[in-house]
Structure 1
């Protein structure tokens, strides 16, 4: 690729330009924090084909389709969305690809707007695919460009882990002119057995990726003194400041999987102690089982959550001591000081109150229904993942209520509804049909009330929230709970303009 002009941008814009310069002909994704802003930028670019999909498995499979026909593709998802795409993601490494495919996974360090704090880097080990963990906008740009090229070299997807801090940071990038054309899938792969496909990938693709990890320009080494820091991702930006001010050696790893063992061993040589700084799990640290290596596992850094310069400095100052973060004190709503409540003017207030008054088991998911767990409602028994409310309620052992939104239905809930009907499960499903993905950015959705009515006929009741009182909802739900089988209670409404979740003192 030929170099173009250098310019200063934030991480989201750097990713946008990299996808453009890298020749991504198809960009798919699913809404969620922290990747919404990047996708909005891509959709505003009239020269790029970027489209939200209903779930991450669909999004990734579309990328595979583009790849085998010679078109580069990118999939953009929040971290928990990678779980949903895991089946085709892992399989495609063995199956093989054509043109490059990159998956940009937005990790939510601190679980600010997610159901967990999982670290997407682990998917590199599970799927046996390369993982970049860039620390600056410039590194993010280069990781995407390099990711496409590496993907084509090994005929497998490449994952790029990003956090909100990297998206928001500003820095310089050096743009590159795209290289064309891109290859199609080599159909000779069908001449191998499934086992043979994996053997071929490990011999040709994985070994090549391992060499690339050792020589990647996104890995940077500075040797200064007998104490060092190894870092990746946003933590590298923090560690660099501390290392510079204290005269420490520093290895920043930008391509973290395959693990660059030779590079790391060379860095460790001659060092008395090394602190591993990474977010939000000890991915690198677990691969360095040495007494002189300290980090989250030894208690020198917090076991979970985001890092800051102060915690890194404190760890360095106590590097030769026993770790002091051994006592984990889980954050509570009370210690945080607030709970999240429904938006002001939410049309579903009477529905929440009616469900609470019934005293039956209630399941929700990662849509607005999860707010039913917080005061003043405090009525939710379980909420696991987006679209899980229906299946969870089917396992209660007694007829309970599943609270689910239309986005969650389209994501993965529809299959659960069909499964419940075919297997004769007992559940009352209350559907909040507000025609938008309210919890993940307000993206517009189609009206699914008619679709559900067509499928479930007389077992589906559709109501407008404007005509409902708490007493009316309670009366309707009581009747449906008494009736046998699966029942749907669909309530159509619109979120108030400019809606924003409230904070309730805990």
Structure 2
């Protein structure tokens, strides 16, 4: 540590030494921290966290720097990461402005520990960043390091944080894809109990209610499948045959994680597939509604940075998981991407397009869902 080092100085030094990738959305009191740490400025906080999660899947430690109101924008992938699990550590360094010196609202970002059941560390110390990364990896979820405007500007705390090495969590890494959704919640709850015991939960974390619900598909005896007349069945079979791997999104693309296809890697919430896939080296498989709902900004970031991503959009112009409600054609929204357009029945053209490129490529695959949407139940 250098003499006269400020809290910001210490954070800059430890962030740069402990992480492989740094992303940020500037704002008081973290603008200078983001700049000095060499963070990549990202279009918004949600996309920043999704890119960091993608790095985690690829084995890189990542840090996201935001101000307290920025936490509001990244909650969806934050919560999903707790249940889906991660690989390498991901931390959010959040700068709070408790007296609203230069912000519109007063929030305490530590409450997001309760919302997402994540470990929360407070204050700036010599070991704070490394401890947060350790906790993230031990409990297989994002960790939050909350700092205040005053701590950033004041002389650094030279002592370590005092965190005891987190208790070993047997359920680290990604959740077993054989788990049911409830099973993933049970798995995450075991880690939450350890977080509470380690003193890393500033507020009581809600327990998973006891239930006789099966925790894996084998116990349940079934898994969700495509509709019997789904036009995208042939595309799924083709992707599985080619040995592709894809980050999935909320909606029918999730079925790619299930047998007999099983080429889906993970899912981190609505619209998340694009940015997560872009930094993890996988393809993105996403529906038209998820893309329009909250995936467009991630796709804009990917094209702006020229990241090598194959984004496969299933265009059925309806919400196939929620009742078939209509969805606008995404093509008019994607002029910046110059997408390739393919009919799902044109398997020869589709096979040519399903290759990870050296630059961003978006493929709109059109198919019409059956009038009566009825997802199959496939025996395990």
TM-score by length of 1: 0.37
Answer with 1 or 2: which has the greater Rg: 1
Report 1 or 2 for greater relative contact order, CA contacts < 8 Å, sequence distance ≥ 6. Answer: 2
